[in-house]
Amino acid sequence: MTENFEFFIKTCILYDIYHWKSPENSYKTICKKYGPELISFTDFKALFSKTLIDNCNESTCKKNLAEILNSSYSALKLCILNDVICGKSIDIAHDKILEIIGKGKMAPWTHFHYWFQRFSDGNWDFGESPAPASPEFADLPIQIVKTIIENCDYSNQWTLRTVSRDLKIHVDLLKSPIGELKFRCNFDHFSLKIDKKYRIFGRENFKIQKYLYIYKDLENLEISKTENFEELAFLELQEKLSNPKLKLEVLEFKAEQCQDFEKIDKILEQIGRKLWVKSVKLR
């Protein structure tokens, strides 16, 4: 194993430890990037255990990880790729890394967006390609940008939030259009419906064909397949409900297990404020 790969693996392990990943799931991420030939699971688990012992305290882990990310642009790109492989949204990935390294020390949003989009498109090369300039849309006069955002439905507004930090701020300042949010928990997938659009979080072997009687409009469907689909679904739900401007006609939760309702209840407690909702349904 070369020194460069060893550095990447140790960084990936530290990042996964900070996110409470098991050595098995962490190894799967490594294999998706480098393949199983780079390091055996036995050697990887030993390295994971040693790193865990050295970083058993969360604050220590965060400090050591921050030092690496602030000193190595390659390490930052590796963590972005890690989040892409795990199916995280760009907002969640950015906020989590920002949480580690602190505001003011993060690479410009355009750089982060460039690498996240590049990796999402399947190009996992770490070449030092320069990040593009800010999106031209963001260069429009502020009033025009606000008018465009106001005329978008809720789902499209959340899409606009991923374009740039400036657009994210403008969207969050808006009064949320009234719509519906439905969260459904199944044994092999979770779904989050915002108005007419679905975001599906499923196991790696999830087959949408089994549920076409529910999800009929495939054009308004986005699917993320990953082993930790439940965690990502709850993170996405928390992010959506945390918007202080959110106003809903319908908020619906459907789950097959009591523990899923308990997690939903915990999210609502963490938000720490009342939600503006006209109708709530529990199924």
Judgement on whether residues 215 and 107 belong to the same structural domain of the protein: no
Is residue 190 helix, strand or coil?
strand
**Judgement on whether residues 168 and 230 belong to the same structural domain of the protein:** no
- d(C-alpha 79, C-alpha 74), whole Å: 9
Please report the pLDDT score of residue 126 as a whole number. 73
The answer to whether residue 128 sits within a structural domain is no
Question: In this structure, are 38 and 10 located in the same domain?
Answer: yes
> Per residue in 12-23, pLDDT tens?
888 888 888 888
- Lowest-confidence pick of 27-31, 177-181, 220-224: 177-181
Residue 111 lies in a domain: yes
Reported confidence tier of residue 4, pLDDT bands at 50, 70, 90: low
Within-domain flag for 125? no
Alpha helices in the chain, H assignment, sequence order: 3-18, 23-34, 41-54, 58-71, 73-85, 90-101, 109-120, 142-150, 154-160, 165-173, 229-241, 258-271
| Residue 162 shares a structural domain with residue 187 | no
Is 143 contained in some domain? yes
Confidence of residue 154 (pLDDT cuts 50, 70, 90): low
Q: Are residues 219 and 140 in the same domain?
A: no
Domain count within the chain: 3
Q: Give the best-scoring range by mean pLDDT among 2-6, 9-13, 75-79, 258-262.
A: 258-262
184 is a domain residue: yes
* Two tokens, residue 142: 């502020």
pLDDT tens string 62-116: 888 888 888 888 888 888 888 888 888 888 888 888 888 876 565 566 778 888 8
Residue 214 scores a pLDDT above 90: no
Q: First CA to last CA across the chain, in angstroms? A: 52
How confident is the model at residue 191, as a pLDDT? 93
Is the residue at 36 inside a domain?
yes
Contacts of 192 (CB under 8 A, 6+ apart): 181, 182, 183, 184, 198, 199, 201, 233, 236, 237, 240
Do both 165 and 186 map to the same domain? no
Would you say residue 3 has pLDDT above 50? no
Residues 6+ apart with CB under 8 A from 173: 245
Task: State pLDDT tens for residues 229-260.
Answer: 999 999 999 988 887 777 788 999 999 888 89
Q: Is the pLDDT of residue 174 over 80?
A: no
At 275, which CATH number? 3.30.420
Domain membership flag for residue 50: yes
Q: Which residue has the higher pLDDT, 77 or 135?
A: 77
18 shares a domain with 103:
yes
Same domain? 29 vs 101:
yes
Do 7 and 115 belong together in one domain? yes
pLDDT at 155: 66
Structural domain of 31: 3-120
Q: What is the pLDDT of residues 39-70, one digit of tens each?
A: 888 888 888 888 888 887 778 888 888 888 88
Question: Which of the listed residues 52, 87, 120 is the one where a domain comes to its end?
Answer: 120
C-alpha torsion 27→30→34→35, nearest 10: 30
Q: Are residues 107 and 12 in the same domain?
A: yes
71 and 42 share one domain: yes
- Quick one: 198 and 277 in the same domain? yes
Last residue of a domain, one of 79, 94, 120: 120
**From CA 38, how far away is CA 23, in angstroms rounded?**
16
More confident of the two residues 269 and 157 = 269
Give kind and range of the element (H or E) at residue 221.
Answer: strand 221-225
